[in-house]
């Protein structure tokens, strides 16, 4: 068996869609599972959609995710160049070879004529299909048109009778009546190939054995097969992946505001969690395990376990998985990642960020959720005395004022060096027991006085330790004033 070679062939359109990244990941895993080669090819034949800097986004994303390519525009290789716009002469050569074999033909139809064909198809409520008008041009007519410099495209010459079949690993045998096949454009009037033609030529010349792409290309595959047959080339193994959906009716799409890979990173998701999650969008390991490293996936990935059915992008599942990755980290690793988000709230306040990270470590699922949770550390927000009333804690404004007035001198008497989580816990709860109160009747008022919030990442003792004695006492006194 020849060495497995897969490719990722993105168009440089400005961002890395989650579906594109999954294609890259599956292609990488298929190759590396068999110690094969993973190739990066840039498909920039659609110059109208080209976005400046988009190629750098592709390089950076593959580097970030660990999908290191063996060959590509930036690393070279024996099958280059790996940018399609640099292979113009290659495509022209093979297009003309098909013309010689009568498997393709020159088409000189004007835009006006093609528009008229489309209008007629719409009126008849039929899909547009070129009518092979130029297929019957004589050699003399073709030569005269070329001599005059008339613009032309080269079209594939598909049969109008019979059936074309191809095999897909996921979807099985796909058969299409040839009368449904359009004579697709292979070479455009600007001399650049269409996406479909360039793919076939490049996949063959680069010895690609397994082609991984989205199921939206299933309908084009019969036309690809006819090209392979026309050239007398071996057909690669097709692996069409199911679409990624935002819900049962709508595909995930950047155009409708769905997150790209870069968007997810900016929201505070970890690249490892995102990669782990998108692996499971359409593939099943056959076990209950859900958390995998890239190295583990290389060992176990079997592309035959890719599903046919569409995969729903479940944001809550991704959040959960991201949280699991954060919990697995050491406190030091988590602190390093969380610090920029923590400082958005703390600003220039000199508090112990490691203690704050410890509070957040097992409570945060996405790093981007941190800003807004800690702003009370910087400055106590204005809040209403109604916040001191909490039915479950069995407290109200009157009980809260009494509790704060009782605990204030106790806290004032604590030495500065004793202002620690454990000492605060023991001292306050000893007073609670002495007074015969419920814990919440003391802790909820302290927590409210310190934060002015109903929801905080830590309790009264954690907040008091981080704020320090001086500021904690000042906030409790302010709470008493508010309750009077």
Active site residues: 254
The DSSP element (H or E) to which 311 belongs, if any, is: strand 311-312
Minimal CA–CA distance to 427: which of 407, 404, 447, 445? 407
Calpha distance 476→462 (Å, rounded): 15
Quote the CA–CA distance of 65 and 69 in Å, as a whole number.
11
Q: What is the token pair recorded at 4?
A: 């497995």
**CA-closest candidate to residue 225, choices 291, 166, 282, 304:** 166
- Give CA–CA dist 368/345, Å, rounded: 12
Comparing C-alpha atoms, which of 46, 356, 372 is closest to residue 196? 46
Classify 78 as helix, strand or coil.
coil
Euclidean distance between CA atoms 414 and 425, whole angstroms: 12
* Paired residues of 376 in beta bridges: none
Strand-by-strand arrangement of the 104-107 sheet: 104-107, 153-156, 185-187
308 is in an annotated binding site: no
Tokens 């830590």 identify what position?
458
**Contact in structure between 399 and 478 (CB atoms under 8 Å):** no
DSSP 8-state code for residue 131: -
Binding site, residues? 254
Binding site for ATP, residues? 254
């Amino acid at each position: 068996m020849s060495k497995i070679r897969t490719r990722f062939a993105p168009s440089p359109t400005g961002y890395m869609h989650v579906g594109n990244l999954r294609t890259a990941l599956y292609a990488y895993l298929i190759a590396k599972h068999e110690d094969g080669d993973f190739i990066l090819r840039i498909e920039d034949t659609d110059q109208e959609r080209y976005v400046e800097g988009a190629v750098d986004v592709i390089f950076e994303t593959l580097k970030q995710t660990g999908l290191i390519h063996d060959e590509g525009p930036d690393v070279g290789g024996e099958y280059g160049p790996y940018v399609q716009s640099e292979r113009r002469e290659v495509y022209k050569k093979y297009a003309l070879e098909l013309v010689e074999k009568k498997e393709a033909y020159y088409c000189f139809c004007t835009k006006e004529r093609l528009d008229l064909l489309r209008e007629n198809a719409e009126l008849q409520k039929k899909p547009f299909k070129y009518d092979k008008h130029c297929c019957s041009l004589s050699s003399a007519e073709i030569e005269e048109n070329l001599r005059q410099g008339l613009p032309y495209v080269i079209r594939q010459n598909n049969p109008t009778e019979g059936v074309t079949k191809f095999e897909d690993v996921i979807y099985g045998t796909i058969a299409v009546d040839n009368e449904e096949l359009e004579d697709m454009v292979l070479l455009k009037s600007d001399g650049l190939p269409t996406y479909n033609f360039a793919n076939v030529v490049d996949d063959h010349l680069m010895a690609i054995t397994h082609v991984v792409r989205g199921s939206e290309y299933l309908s084009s595959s019969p036309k690809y097969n006819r090209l392979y047959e026309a050239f007398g080339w071996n057909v690669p193994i097709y692996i069409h992946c199911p679409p990624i959906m935002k819900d049962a009716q709508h595909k995930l799409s950047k155009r409708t505001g769905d997150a790209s890979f870069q968007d997810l990173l900016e929201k505070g998701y970890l690249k490892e969690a995102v990669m782990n999650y998108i692996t499971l969008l359409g593939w099943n390991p056959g076990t209950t395990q859900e958390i995998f490293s890239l190295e583990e996936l290389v060992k176990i990935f079997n592309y035959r376990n890719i599903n046919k059915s569409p995969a729903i992008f479940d944001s809550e599942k991704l959040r959960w998985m991201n949280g699991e990755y954060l919990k697995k980290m050491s406190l030091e690793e988590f602190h390093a990642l969380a610090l920029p988000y923590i400082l958005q709230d703390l600003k220039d306040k000199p508090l112990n960020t490691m203690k704050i990270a410890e509070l957040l470590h097992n409570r945060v699922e996405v790093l981007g959720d941190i800003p807004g949770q800690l702003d009370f550390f910087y400055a106590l927000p204005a809040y209403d005395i109604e916040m001191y009333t909490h039915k479950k804690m069995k407290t109200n404004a009157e009980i809260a004022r009494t509790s704060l007035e009782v605990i204030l001198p106790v806290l004032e008497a604590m030495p500065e060096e004793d202002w620690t989580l454990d000492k605060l816990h023991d001292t306050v709860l000893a007073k609670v027991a002495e007074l015969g109160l419920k814990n919440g009747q003391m802790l909820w008022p302290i927590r409210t006085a310190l934060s002015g919030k109903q929801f905080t990442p830590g309790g009264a003792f954690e907040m008091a330790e981080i704020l320090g004695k001086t500021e904690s006492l000042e906030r409790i006194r302010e709470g008493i004033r508010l309750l009077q």
